[in-house]
Structure formats: C-alpha cells, structure tokens
Structure 1
C-alpha cells in the first residue's frame, strides 16, 4: 500500500470507491449482527439486566467521547491505516465477547469495540470523499448511507439465525471475521490523499476537535437522530396503546424506502443544490411526525414511515455532503466528527426526553405530545438552517 499523487477521480464507480464502500458494508454488517443479541448473551452468562444494559449503553458513551479525537486523527494521520486499526479493534472486541465469561473483561472489550467503531465511521467518510468526483459528492455519500442501511436491515436477522443454530459465540466470531476481512481488503487500497502539509505551529487547538462551520449542518442532522431515538424507543409502545400488532413492519418499510430514495436525492443535490433536498426533506419528515401521533391503524403508521423515509433519505445525506463541501475536503475528518457528534447527542437525548414527556403525560396524549415535539424541533432546526444557509450564489453552487 503506497500513497499516490492527488488526482480527482473522473467517475464515481472507481475501484478505490467500490473498495471502501465494501469495507463500509462489512463493518456495518458486523456491528448490527451482534447489536440485538449482546444483552441477551450477557444475561445468559449470569449478568443482571442492569449490568447488561450498562455494557450495551457503554458503546454510545465511548463513541461520544472518542468522536472529536477521531476527526483530529483523520485529518492528520494516514486514513487507510487508521481504518485498518479501527477494524482490528472492532474484531478484538468481538472475539473477546466470544471467548470470555469475565464481566470486567466484557466491559473492556465493549470499550475496545466502541473505540474501533467510532474511529471507523469518521475515518471512513474522510477517506472516501477523496475517491468521489466533486460534482457527484451527494450521490457518492448517499451510497455510503445505503451500505450502512443494508447492515441495519439485514444483519440482525443473520446474527440471530447464527446464534440460534450455532450459539451466540459463533455469531460474535462471524462478526469478527467480517471486520478482519475489511482490514485485509484495505491493504490493497492506494491512498490518494494529498500529502499532509507541515503546520506552521506545533500543538493542537480547539479547532482541531470541533469545526464550527459544520454546526449549521450538524444541528438539523441531530434532530433526525433525536427523532430516530424516540421512534426506535417508543413506537412499539405507542402501537400497543391501540392494540396494533406487527408494527415492526414499519422499520422494514422505512429501510426499503430510504434505500430507494437515496441515490435519486444525491443526484438531485449534485445537479440542483442542497436546498432542493434538505428543505422539502425536513418538511416531509416533520409532517410525518406530526401525523404519527394521530394514527390509529397499522397502514396509517406505515404511511407516515414511508413519508419520514422519503424526507430523511433526501435530507440527511445531503446535509453530510454539504457539510464536507462547505468545510473543505482537507478538513473532512473534523467536519465529519463534528457532524456525527450531533447525531450521537441527538440519539442519546431523544429517548431520555421521550421518557420524561411520557412520565408527565399518560396514555395516547403523551405519545402525541412527544411525536409533535419531535416534529416541532425539526422545523425549528430547519428555520435555523434557512437563516444560516449561504446567500452567496457561488457558495450555493458549491453546496
């Protein structure tokens, strides 16, 4: 593996792009394979449900703490080697789950897995943008989202099937093999990042950890994560209030709709601009949340899920692509880490706020207030983005 001179790729589907896309799919698949079985596995080993919840939640805490440092590393160090190390860290954590019954070691391996996954997500995005033509940034980043969506939609079922047939340790081993395969594949990748310029002054500043120019994109993205956390945590309970069964179909239809809309939304953003995907996308998503609280049948809930998927599938990758374009590819690492930091915070706070609202307002009224609150929060973020959206025509063109 060597570093070659920086040259702009002429087409999107070049070999390095496909390779990193494959690595992204493998890493995502590995993560989601074990996400649904870890707590059950720990309880089966004799851990309390409280301890199991702590270990599962430790992943998010680790990710939140590591995220700013990931941006610094992505902008200063070789992205390919960072990605190899991150996949190996994930594999070490997964192998540890398979081969130990020690609860203190489970904590250590969970932290190891979380650090690896946090580095992986940030560095992956910082690396792949160098293999995407600038005039197809939205489309290229959209496909990265699809690769991760494949993992979230398919991997849990695969992990459960392996666990049922061969035992849970086998599921962790299979997940570890995927990350090892990803690390091996990266050895064949040539790095086309520009040589790092020597900084005029030594040391690290706050700007190396946090990119303030990314904030206008991060805040709207955080509201999507907030709503995701709320729906993932409380949709089933909301359906139970109405006696609605098989509401899990909502998540499948949502994933399929996002899968279908992302390639088209990326192309639309590249051709027309960010305003053609983010503004209507956020309005559609907010509308779906306002409507959700008043749905009293499965088909109505599913319709709101499709509307939400169309909105989020259009707006979310466009925000990420716009963030990188606005900040600049040379700062793509810290831009991505700042952007993802908003998502980490939104995903974590959403269920907490939801629990507080439902504790204060009982029954269906509580769920209606909660979902409407999510919609209002998204519209407020949209208003903020509108105010902060660059008015300069040339800047808009670059976005």
Structure 2
C-alpha cells in the first residue's frame, strides 16, 4: 500500500495518446459520413445505414479472430498490421467517388478497426499494473470519451468551413500520428503466448454473459440510429452545429461514468440501472419531440446519463461473473454484442426512417429500450444475485 506500482509510464502514456488519436480520426467520420453520402454521393437514408452499419458488422466478424491471433502470434505483430491497414483505409476515403467504392472501403476499414481496437485493449491490459488495473483502464477509457467530445465538433467545423477533402486528409494525419506512437511502446515480456490454441466455440465467447450481451445489443440497436442519422436530423431541424450533440453527450459521460461506478460498487446495479434505462428512453422521446437546438442538446444530456450508467455497469457485472482467465472472452462477447447492435440498428433503422421519418424512428428506439429493461430485471438481476461466489 505504501509503494504503488507506477501507472503513468512512458508506455501507458503512449498507448493512451495512440488511442486518443485513432479514436479522434474515427469520430471525424462518424457524424460526417452521413452528410457525405447524402450531399456528395447523392445516397438516401437506407444507404447511410448500410455505410455506417457495415463497418460495425465487419468489426464484429473479425473480433474473435483478432483475439485469437493476438494471443497466438503476438501483440506487437498484430497491432502493427492492424494499425497499418487502419491508416491505409483512412487514406482510401480521399479517393472515394461513388457509393460502391465507399461501401467496399468500409469493409476494409471495419476489419482494420476491429483488429486495432482489440489489439490496443489487450496491449493496455498488459501494460497496466494488476494492482491498479481498474484505475488504469478507467483513464484509458477516458481517451475514447475525449475523442468523442472533440472529434465530431472539429469534423463538422471542417466541412462547414472548408470541404470533405480537408476532413479526410486530417483524419488520415491523425491515424498516421497514432501509428507512429506505436513504435515507442515497449511490449511487456509477460504477454505470454500459450502453446495450446483450440478453435472450440467457447474459446471465443463466454456463455455466462450472454444475457448481459443481449441486453446491450438492444440498447445499442437504438444507438445505431443516433450515430447514423443524428446529423441528418439536425439539418431537418435547421441546427447549424450538429456536433453539439456529441459534445454534450461526451461531457456528460465524463461525469456520469465515475459516479455510476461508485454507486455500483457500494449499492449494486438494481437502482442505478433503472435510472440509466429511464434516461435513455427520455432521450429518444425528446428527439421525437425536438423542434430546435435546446431539445436536441437536452436529448444528448439524457443519452449521456443513460449510456454512462448502463454500459460500464453491464461490463462490470460481466467481469464479476467470470474468473480472471475468462475476462478476455467475456469482454469479447459483450463488445461484439455492442457492435452488432449498432451495425444492425444502423441498417434496419435506415429503412424505418425512410418509410416513417426520423421522428417516428427515434420514438420507436425509445419503445425498443423496454425490451432490455424487462430482460435486465426479469432475467439478469435474478441470475446475478443468485451467484454465490462473485468472481474476483
């Protein structure tokens, strides 16, 4: 207790900076690609859904393989290749001239994204001292949140003031800087590779967290409607700066996540998750009723409260239910469901918005949240509290 193991080492700082740069480049595209598809490539809302969703679905498809290769081949080699292909895919956006080319590029980008994020998460888990893992992973996660706050605002400013060429070039530059950070990281020799690798199904997923994963799938299904269409909806509402949604959402996350974690540790998930579910439902109802900037930003605030509670609490509950040597599989299962929800949500909600309009689509998302709410209190909570030995 007197001598804490060092956390802010050169390697930890570099992986956090790398993560910040890569995620910022990713968030440069998240709010702007829907506008690029509709305004430049002349696509419609269903095509926006496919363009956004296919990346996430590709990331889901490669995550199990990426986890296997990271352990079998080595962190350094897979991380290098993943970031290299990520940089190449970012460069590809500069040359996109049609929806077909963009769709094909999103396949490559999705695979690179799945490998890169899985590799980075594994590397940082190796670098953080075991005695400070929760603290270290928390700080590492904040780099994602900061990227979410600044990326969309900067990106939307660039396309409003200049053009998409500068946007794609800037995103490429950020990804290259992140790639360069990788060369300064010293990989711990303790990142062991096992001599035995099997291809059994349970090597790639954890059955004890399937109910939590299903809950997150329905939660992020609605979130797919946010990432794909919120900037288009802002145009319908005559909002000049749609990036304010992502900025407000990220700022609220910064405050809510630590508070939610403390409540979960001291009181359990029962009450805090109720607040999270209700906040998400309110967020979608506000979007349905939105008529201008105030409702638009207020929806982001409630969404930040909801996701700031539900997502980290679900991950903590999953980790509590498995032994330490199964945490990788548990995380892979949880985050695959997270990505799958966004991917399918983006595609299917694109059809719904085209048929019924964006306000009705967002109201439908609020109704869908009743499914994971029911699942949590009728299946997950009884399972969780029936565990006689929560794993450490």
Q: How has the CA–CA distance of structure 1 residues 368 and 158 changed in structure 2, closer, same or farther, with 3 Å as cutoff?
A: closer
Partner of 1:82: 78
Whole-angstrom CA distance in 2 between matches of 1:160 and 1:307: 22
Shift of 1:91: 0.8
Paired residues of 1:285 and 1:311 also in contact (CA < 8 A): yes
Partner of 1:66: 62
Partner of 1:49: 43
Q: CA RMSD in A?
A: 4.0
Whole-angstrom CA distance in 1 between matches of 2:73 and 2:312: 25
Taking the TM superposition and a 5 Å limit, the aligned residue runs for 1:126-145 are: 126-134=122-130, 136-145=132-141
- Asked if 1:208 is matched to 2:199, the reply is no
Whole-angstrom CA distance in 2 between matches of 1:340 and 1:283: 22
Whole-angstrom CA distance in 1 between matches of 2:351 and 2:163: 38
Shift of 1:267: 5.3
Whole-angstrom CA distance in 2 between matches of 1:110 and 1:300: 32
Partner of 1:220: 215
Count the aligned residue pairs: 382
Structure 2 counterpart of 1:186, from 182, 185, 188: 182
Whole-angstrom CA distance in 2 between matches of 1:326 and 1:13: 29
Whole-angstrom CA distance in 1 between matches of 2:308 and 2:155: 26
Q: How has the CA–CA distance of structure 1 residues 84 and 163 changed in structure 2, closer, same or farther, with 3 Å as cutoff?
A: farther
Partner of 2:193: 196
Taking the TM superposition and a 5 Å limit, the aligned residue runs for 1:383-398 are: 383-389=378-384, 391-392=386-387, 394-395=389-390, 398=392
Partner of 2:169: 173
Partner of 1:3: none
Paired residues of 1:143 and 1:263 also in contact (CA < 8 A): no
Whole-angstrom CA distance in 2 between matches of 1:133 and 1:300: 43
Whole-angstrom CA distance in 1 between matches of 2:154 and 2:118: 26
Partner of 2:307: 312
Whole-angstrom CA distance in 1 between matches of 2:131 and 2:313: 13
Segments of structure 1 that go 5 or more residues without pairing to the other structure are 1-8
Paired residues of 1:71 and 1:208 also in contact (CA < 8 A): no
Whole-angstrom CA distance in 2 between matches of 1:236 and 1:109: 22
Taking the TM superposition and a 5 Å limit, the aligned residue runs for 1:170-319 are: 170-192=166-188, 193-199=190-196, 203-231=198-226, 249-266=244-261, 272=265, 276=268, 278-292=269-283, 305-319=300-314
Paired residues of 2:276 and 2:310 also in contact (CA < 8 A): no
Paired residues of 1:289 and 1:372 also in contact (CA < 8 A): no
Paired residues of 1:33 and 1:156 also in contact (CA < 8 A): yes
Q: How has the CA–CA distance of structure 1 residues 60 and 11 changed in structure 2, closer, same or farther, with 3 Å as cutoff?
A: same
Partner of 1:18: 13
TM-score, normalization by structure 1: 0.77
Whole-angstrom CA distance in 1 between matches of 2:281 and 2:193: 48
- Asked if 1:109 is matched to 2:105, the reply is yes
TM-score, normalization by structure 2: 0.78
Whole-angstrom CA distance in 1 between matches of 2:173 and 2:231: 33
Paired residues of 1:30 and 1:175 also in contact (CA < 8 A): yes
Paired residues of 2:253 and 2:304 also in contact (CA < 8 A): yes
- Asked if 1:149 is matched to 2:140, the reply is no
Segments of structure 2 that go 5 or more residues without pairing to the other structure are none
- Asked if 1:348 is matched to 2:343, the reply is yes
